[in-house]
Amino acid sequence: MFFPKIGISAIVTLAVATVTQAGIKGAIVDESGNPVHNAAVTIRTLPNLVANARVLSNDKGAFNLNNAKKGQSIVVRKAGFLPETLSVVPAQKDYGNITLKRDPIENRIDSIMAKMTIDDIIAQMTQAKAPAVKCGNSICGSALEGGGAYTADFYANAWKQKIPVIYGKDNVHGVADVKNATIFPHNIGLGATRDSALVRKIGQAVAEEMWAAHIDLNFAPAVTVPQDERWGRVYEGFSENTELVASLGAAFVRGQQGDHNDAEWRVITTLKHFIGDGATDKGYDRGNATITAKQLHKKYLPPYEASIEQGALSVMASFNQVNGIHQHVDSALLTGVLKTELAFDGYVIADWEGIESSTTPGAAGDYSPGLVTGISSKDAIKNSINAGLDMAMVPQSAEAFVSNMKELVASGAISEERVKDACRRILRAKIRAGRIDNPNGPAAYVGITKNIGSAEHRQLAREAVQKSLVVLKNKKVLPLATTDKIFVTGSHANNTGLQCGAWTLGWQGTMEEVPGATSIQAGFDEVAKGARVATAEEAGTIVYIIGEVPYAEWFGDYRGNDFNNKIITKKERTDMSFNSTDNDIAQIKDWQKAGHKVAVVLITGRPLPITSLINAADAFVVAWLPGSEGAGVADVLFGKVKPTGKLPHTWPKDAKQIPINVGDGKKGLFPYGFGLTY
């Protein structure tokens, strides 16, 4: 396997640094007895997905590891080989030669690649914008469309190619650019459920709806570990807690792909964004993450490891920098850590025009429809591909990428060995996903439109909403009685676009209605018919549903000086603004003076420093971004289902505390894991 030498020795040093004395030793060899260099040797307590200890074999195949115990396993992995697992034997220190057998899938890849030209290989490495399937003089490996775009018949041409062109979309909480699809809560809400079995079912449901819509590649799940509430992408992650992210991320992968890609409905999942996207300074999207090697391995890497152990087939590089190095050109992390230390043998894909983004670290692009924001320049391509990027997401510069790649390979600036390795990784993923053996996809799911927004899937989404709600405050207001007179109001009470959040019928979401979705207000009418009244004067209790407007990526960043008591409420995408909650507080107090109890339901993609608003309410419930099934909110408020949601993040008391996370010694308004019930 080709990899740059940069960073490998540092990784070995890091892995061995914890090994003060060799507890066990051995040597990794192939079937001919030749030493296998840089095999990843780990000690694991199965079925845990994260290793207790790890080391790489040296150039003689030898390894030493400490702290192996009875009941643990030695697991050895390297791309191109079948993994080998041995039980730790008490008192045995020398395990001799451990033989890795070549994975039979490699023989299939050899036979395919034997018939491929360099043009074919480069085309496989290219992800153009649908409906294109031609990349240079050959057929693209993949095509994609951004938020809001969907070509229903793209598959007809893409899947009939000799090597099918896989079609990628950001189905991060459902097939949300397809009308009438089931929209699940965004990941932060799923984090509040703490329910990995539920998340696995959601992964499967999304895969089934993907096949119904002829989509076979998903740019999800995000296994980020967000650390700063000012970041505009907090909701994409499950939690600030590494262990919870690892558990739920792996569960989603199992749902989408089965156990190590054994599901009939399996699609290709993409772990993102590697690495440190949730750790940037001040929470700036695409900014710099200042983190130590220890922090990276302890906090940010385990979710990737867990999902890779479950068979994840693709990893997306991140726009951010880690200690000043853009993640599309970070050889030490892409090749040294991801591909070598974690033995990831799938492919690494760029983010949207991320190759060229590496030339302007920290800058955000203009993705206005039809606007070409840049090209794939030779230096950027050379640096990213040599760093370990395998597939270029180049919807606006595919032609330039292919042309420049041909010149770079011809000149030797990028070796044939490197591009063949990249192509091999892409083909490996396609074979495991069944895209070579069954190019038309699983007949039981492909084009089955009744699966889109099916009653079964909507019930699953409703369950997710129920389990995601977190009750932060309750002064004998909840549960509501179906015999009460309740006035339901607020900006988010009867707007399904607002409750779904971003990546719904568009990159930045929509302020309009989402077809097939049930608003929270409509959910009230379903759960407690006749309880809702038309005016506040008629009511005993007022349910005030307010929150953030949809936003994605840097549009949601807070980059001002005082985040206290502010919510992002302005709809213009070019001029997002955070407005004070003072008017909401005044309204609540007016209602209370008139003798009403006020329960606030907050629609939000992150914890917010809105202590004054929380203090003003008689009850306060966080519904996150619940998606299409608004009735799930009413189920909990009326006590049809008891609230069980727990905070996936520490809730800040004051903006000055941000960043605030579990274990940092800061005391927020509510701790990580908090949640009332009744």
Q: Is the pLDDT score of 399 beyond 80? A: yes
Q: Is the pLDDT score of 531 beyond 80? A: yes
Active-site choice (277, 390, 553, 635): 553
Burial of residue 294 (CB within 10 Å: 0-12, 13-18, 19+) is exposed
Task: Give the mean pLDDT of 125-153.
Answer: 96
How far apart CA 10 and CA 87 sit, in angstroms, is 29
The answer to whether 240 is a known catalytic residue is no
The single residue listed with the structure tokens 């690649």 is 113
When pLDDT is cut at 50, 70 and 90, the band that residue 15 belongs to is very low
How far apart CA 122 and CA 554 sit, in angstroms, is 32
How far apart CA 432 and CA 262 sit, in angstroms, is 9
pLDDT at 575 (0 to 100): 54
When pLDDT is cut at 50, 70 and 90, the band that residue 8 belongs to is very low
Amino acid symbol at 312: A
pLDDT at 377 (0 to 100): 87
In this structure, what token pair is assigned to residue 188? 């932060």
What are the pLDDT digits (tens) for 298-329? 999 999 999 999 999 999 999 999 999 999 99
pLDDT at 571 (0 to 100): 61
Bond before 643 cis per omega within 30 degrees: no
How far apart CA 94 and CA 83 sit, in angstroms, is 19
Share of the chain above pLDDT 90, in %: 90
Task: Give the mean pLDDT of 87-110.
Answer: 95
Amino acid symbol at 654: D
Strands 73-77 and 62-65: what pairing?
A: unpaired
- State how far the alpha carbon of 412 is from the alpha carbons of 133, 381, 382, 402, 423, in Å: 27, 13, 10, 15, 17
pLDDT at 114 (0 to 100): 98
pLDDT at 572 (0 to 100): 62
H/E run at residue 347: strand 347-349
Q: What region does 503 belong to: left with phi over 0, alpha with psi -120 to 50, or beta?
A: left
The closest alpha carbon to 312, from 213, 236, 218, belongs to 218
Share of the chain above pLDDT 70, in %: 94
In this structure, what token pair is assigned to residue 427? 């083909």
Contact 267, 218 (CB under 8 A): yes
pLDDT at 68 (0 to 100): 87
Q: Is the pLDDT score of 20 beyond 50? A: no
H/E run at residue 416: helix 416-432
Task: Give the mean pLDDT of 199-213.
Answer: 98
Q: What region does 227 belong to: left with phi over 0, alpha with psi -120 to 50, or beta?
A: alpha
Active-site choice (145, 170, 309, 351): 351
pLDDT at 331 (0 to 100): 98
Contact 118, 419 (CB under 8 A): yes
Q: Is the pLDDT score of 1 beyond 80? A: no
pLDDT at 7 (0 to 100): 33
- State how far the alpha carbon of 257 is from the alpha carbons of 287, 471, 558, 625, in Å: 32, 34, 36, 25
Q: What is the DSSP string of 446-485?
A: TT-GGGTT-HHHHHHHHHHHHHH-EEEEESS--SPPTTS-
pLDDT at 367 (0 to 100): 42
**β-sheet with 347-349: strand ranges across:** 270-274, 314-317, 347-349
Radius of gyration of the chain (CA): 25
Angle at 310 between CA 111 and CA 308, to 5 degrees: 75
Angle between helices 416-432 and 398-411 (to 10 degrees): 130
pLDDT at 4 (0 to 100): 34
Other beta carbons less than 10 A from residue 510's beta carbon: 20
Q: Is the pLDDT score of 19 beyond 70? A: no
pLDDT at 6 (0 to 100): 30
Of 13-22, 91-100, 104-113, 573-582, the poorest mean pLDDT is in 13-22
- State how far the alpha carbon of 346 is from the alpha carbons of 314, 438, 448, 455, 495, in Å: 5, 19, 29, 35, 41
Q: Is the pLDDT score of 436 beyond 50? A: yes
pLDDT at 543 (0 to 100): 98
Long-range contacts of 291-294 (CB under 8 A, 24+ apart): 291/322, 291/323, 293/10, 293/14
Average pLDDT over the chain, rounded to whole? 93
Amino acid symbol at 345: D
pLDDT at 365 (0 to 100): 54
H/E run at residue 53: strand 53-56
Strands 62-65 and 94-99: what pairing?
A: unpaired
| CA-CA-CA-CA dihedral for 313, 319, 322, 324, to nearest 10 | 150
- Give the bridge partners for 322, in sequence order: 289, 325
How far apart CA 302 and CA 331 sit, in angstroms, is 19
Q: Is the pLDDT score of 267 beyond 60? A: yes
Contact 491, 545 (CB under 8 A): yes
Contact 202, 464 (CB under 8 A): yes
Helix (H, G, I), strand (E, B) or coil at 64: strand
What are the pLDDT digits (tens) for 477-524? 999 999 999 999 999 999 999 999 999 999 999 999 999 999 999 999
What are the pLDDT digits (tens) for 332-383? 999 999 999 999 999 999 999 999 999 888 876 544 444 444 567 899 999 9
When pLDDT is cut at 50, 70 and 90, the band that residue 11 belongs to is very low
How far apart CA 321 and CA 277 sit, in angstroms, is 8
In this structure, what token pair is assigned to residue 120? 């074919």
In this structure, what token pair is assigned to residue 117? 């030209």
The answer to whether 285 is a known catalytic residue is no
Task: Give the mean pLDDT of 413-434.
Answer: 98
H/E run at residue 156: helix 154-158
| CA-CA-CA-CA dihedral for 293, 294, 296, 302, to nearest 10 | 140
